[in-house]
Amino acid sequence: MKKTMIHLADGRELFYFDRSDAADRSARDERDLPPRPPSSELRYDPLMDEWVAIAGHRQTRTHLPSAEECPLCPAHPGSEIPSWYDVVVFENRFPSFSYVGPDTREQVGGLSEVRPGIGRCEVVCFTADHQSSFAALSPEQVELVMEAWADRTAELSALPGVEQVFCFENRGAEIGITLPHPHGQIYAYPYVTPRTRQILDNAERYGGNLFADVLAAERAGPRVVAANEHWTAFVPAAARYPFEVHLYPHRQVPDLAALNTEERAAFGAVYTDVLWRLDGVFGVVMPYVAAWHQAPVRARRELGYLHLQLFSIRRAPGKLKYLAGSESGMGAFVNDVRPEEAAELLRGWGKPGRQITD
């Protein structure tokens, strides 16, 4: 694997991850790009003890362009990426976090305070093939994506002010994507996210190793979907979404950068199998969010246990699970599909012979 960093014409960093060491990335980007947007700000919610990013410039981000105008397809006039690639990562043109200066704070009223949106947001293109998907990637391509995730996790974790790194993929119009090209994103937050704080609080109170005990119990139960020597994928007992699968490495590590060579190589077989099964349940392309849960950069890293949460809001053909009153207003989930039934459905459909439609 060869990694090369270049600067785009507007000053943003772009990283090529090539399978071949002979890849030549010496050409300069001399395009006429628009200036970078202003930084976002963070506002504190004293009732929830949470920070909210205010990023008004994101209102103008690209929204569902045609395939011919896709900014993630390489080497055309409207592209973000100046040449062909295997895997590429670059700073988001419309970032939620991008400030690199001092962490100044001031009162904004309502018992709140405002601070600059310290951090960084990056886009990860899994393939140059606009019509592909993560499920269709070759094992070698998945390994290259894993290398990119691990590399960026390590480098972003070292940035001043960054407290947590989050790699994720949004897929499907129902999820709210703005670009259909196979890609994900990485957020480097200036705080530990609310979900992570809650999980680590519970792990700290538990006394033993909460994550390892959950994994052991699920591996012995009826909700395992797929597994190999290094990874297990299961539907959690209290799944919040109609179809939700968690993928755990069998060894506790804090983040993607800590996975060894064998664990990185073994991930793709289990994950792409689960993705094919997800699409196979109803014979249609399923919308999903794939979220890597990593330990915070500094606080309580010893408690963290890397795992991937994959979930879809589709509950039946032509029906979505909307996060309405109870879920959105109270954060209290009601799932329409029994987790055991979801696991059985996922086990029943795999890649061979299953016709998937858009």
Q: What are the residue numbers of the active site?
A: 183
In 3D, which of 324, 299, 305 has the Cα closest to residue 313? Answer: 324
Q: d(Cα 291, Cα 250) in Å, to the nearest integer?
A: 18
Sequence-separated (6 or more) residues with CB below 8 Å from residue 213: 206
Cβ count within 10 A of residue 208: 8
- Per DSSP, 330 falls in state I
Tell me the residue type at 108: V
Cβ count within 10 A of residue 339: 21
Q: What are phi and psi of 218, to 5 degrees?
A: -70, -35
The label of the residue with tokens 């998945």 reads 142
Q: d(Cα 96, Cα 39) in Å, to the nearest integer?
A: 8
Q: Are 147 and 256 in contact (CB under 8 A)?
A: no
Interaxial angle between packed helices 194-206 and 210-219, expressed in degrees from 0 to 180 and rounded to the nearest 10: 90
Residue 281: exposure state from Cβ atoms within 10 A (0-12, 13-18, ≥19): buried
Structure tokens at 186: 């990485």
Q: What are phi and psi of 226, to 5 degrees?
A: -160, 155
The label of the residue with tokens 């590429």 reads 88
Q: d(Cα 68, Cα 87) in Å, to the nearest integer?
A: 20
- β-strand pairing of 112-116 with 164-171: unpaired
